[in-house]
Amino acid sequence: MVRFAAAALALLCIASSNQTFAQAEPLRIGFLTVRTGPLAAGGRQMEEGINLFLKERNSTLSGRKVEIIIADTAGQPAQAKTKAQELVEREKVHVLVGPLATFEALAIDDYVLQAKVPLLPPMSAAQNDLAQRKLSDYVIHTYGTAAQAMYAMGDYAAKKLGMKRVAMIADDFTYGHEGAAGFHKTFEDAGGRIVQKLWPPLNAPDYGSFIGQLKTNVDGVYAGFAGSNPLRFLRTYREYGVKPVVMGNPTLTDEGILKNMGDEALGVYTASWYTVDRDAPDNKRFVEAIRREYKVTPGFYTAATYTSGLWIEEAMKLVKGKFEDKAAFVRALHNVKLDHGPMGPLRLDEYGKPILNVYVRKVERRNGELVNVTVATYPNVSQFWTYDPKAFIAGPQYSRDYPPAKVSD
């Protein structure tokens, strides 16, 4: 009788514990996206990625319900900071995902340190302060820096495409500056020469005057544009009859904008942390699910936030759903290593930045549709490429003016 009573009491305690766990507050994710302005197309893809992830899991991770609270930053640094504050202080979110643009992430960096709420920037990874000079336990990047994919592009342009001279043109904001710098660094290290840099404003009404300034005695033109700007740039480039091969950053021909392009995109090379034709079961399932759910082909914005979801899921497993232990949850976010998902293997370096594959793609027309076709894969690329990390961090940080072009003719 005593044993029966003890067993009954134990079962009652377990049931009570499980009921308490089930009724506990949900994990609240604050999601910083862009719904208005020139970067809104990328913001829409961000939402598609995270929403698919949560739908597939019935908005539940490790037995805990998940709520997502979405805020529109409009692609503006000041608004990004305001929205982050609202999500943390009013909505009491436990983790932040976003924002889209690098200069937005830089604007909320100090606030994240003060609030001690983990931030997962899925694609807005600045090369300079976010995880190097101001190393933070609360910033966990699940996507590469703006320069990281462009290291591979610069290397490929010099060694595989045989380019010797390149002119550069890119959006005049942090993402444009740092992406161009990464290409510049490896291209010159491989023996190439950067002969020109042009910086149109992010909201430039027309690219004609800039394209008219491009040097023509070059083998290629590096183009670093985001949002809807790639479409306008490439159309104007072709209208002006400029001949050199174009190559650039992930957003130049991302699937979200490529679907609106025509022949102006043919032959354009880009490098990205994600490629839609990656031949892996996880990626094929992801692509099919996005196409079924949203009737679009996913690009790197979509894969980025889906991967952020995977990252949080693995951290929740490590803490057995008990995210209330903030210190343990933050440690878990740093300890995650992904060997599944659409992007390929992903782990963090000691600075909280990812080591991951970079894919070089070329736009082709197949079955009447423009597609990015992978032509090379650079495995396990770090934010430092092949450079010594300590010397890299101690040296000048990438910017609009660094590295300087060695040749100006």
Which tens digit of pLDDT belongs to each residue from 180-238?
999 999 999 999 999 999 999 988 989 999 999 999 999 999 999 988 899 999 999 99
Is 16 domain-assigned? Answer: no
Query: Which of 27-41, 82-96, 132-146, 323-337 shows the lowest per-residue confidence on average (mean pLDDT)?
Result: 132-146
Contacts 24+ apart (CB under 8 A), 287-293: 287/342, 289/52, 289/56, 290/48, 290/49, 290/52, 293/48, 293/52, 293/55
Pair 288, 159 in one domain = no
Q: What is the dihedral of CA 44, 47, 53, 55, to 10 degrees?
A: -100
Bridging pattern class, strands 60-61 and 64-72: antiparallel
Q: Which residues of 319-351 are buried (b: 16+ CB within 10 A; e: fewer)?
A: bebbbeeeeebbebbeebebeebbbbebebeeb
Cβ atoms within 10 Å of 284's Cβ, excluding its own: 14
Task: Decide if 380 is inside a domain.
Answer: yes
pLDDT level of residue 125 (50, 70, 90 thresholds): low
- Tell me, yes or no, whether 152 and 209 share the same domain: yes
- Judge if 263 and 311 occupy the same domain: no
> Average pLDDT, stretch 301-315?
96
Residue 41: its pLDDT value, please? Answer: 84
* Residues in Cβ contact with 142 at an 8 Å cutoff, skipping those fewer than 6 apart: 120, 121, 122, 304, 307, 308, 311, 346, 354
- Between CA 248 and CA 130 the distance in angstroms is 23
402 belongs to a structural domain: no
Work out the average pLDDT over 9-13: 50
Residue 264, in any domain of the structure: yes
Helix 281-294 to helix 40-56 angle (10° resolution) is 110
CB-based contacts of 313, cutoff 8 Å, min separation 6:
57, 61, 62
The first and second tokens of residue 117, run together, are 């709420």
Q: Taking a C-beta distance cutoff of 8 angstroms, is the pair 328, 74 a contact?
A: no
Among all chains, which residue has been given the structure tokens 């050199």? 244
Q: Examine the domain organization and report whether 113 and 140 are in the same domain.
A: yes
Same-domain pairing of 30 and 122: yes
CATH number (domain holding residue 299): 3.40.50.2300
Which residues fall within 8 angstroms of residue 171, CB to CB, at 6 or more apart? Answer: 199, 200, 201, 202, 224, 225, 226, 229
For residues 183 and 304, state if they share a domain: no
Q: Which residues of 380-400 are buried (b: 16+ CB within 10 A; e: fewer)?
A: ebbbbbebeeeeebeeeebee
Are 366 and 257 contained in the same domain? yes
pLDDT confidence of residue 129: 46
Residue 296 falls inside a structural domain: yes
Its domain, for residue 80, covers 25-145+279-355
Average pLDDT over residues 268-293: 97
Same domain? 77 vs 198: no
Task: Mark whether 193 and 340 lie in a shared domain.
Answer: no
Residue 100 is assigned to a structural domain of this protein: yes
pLDDT of residue 208: 96
- Split at pLDDT 50, 70, 90, the class of 127 is low
What is the percent of the chain where pLDDT is above 90? 76
Residues in the chain, overall count: 409
Give the β-pairing of 119-120 and 95-97. Answer: parallel
CB 250 within 8 A of CB 149: yes
Q: Are 238 and 184 in contact (CB under 8 A)?
A: no
Domain boundary among 355, 372, 402: 355
| Residue 67 domain flag | yes
Judge if 371 and 259 occupy the same domain: yes
Q: In terms of domains, do 361 and 228 share one?
A: yes
pTM above 0.95, yes or no: no
pLDDT band at 240, cuts 50/70/90? Answer: very high
Same-domain pairing of 288 and 163? no
Residue 13 within any structural domain of the chain: no
Q: How many domains does the chain have?
A: 2
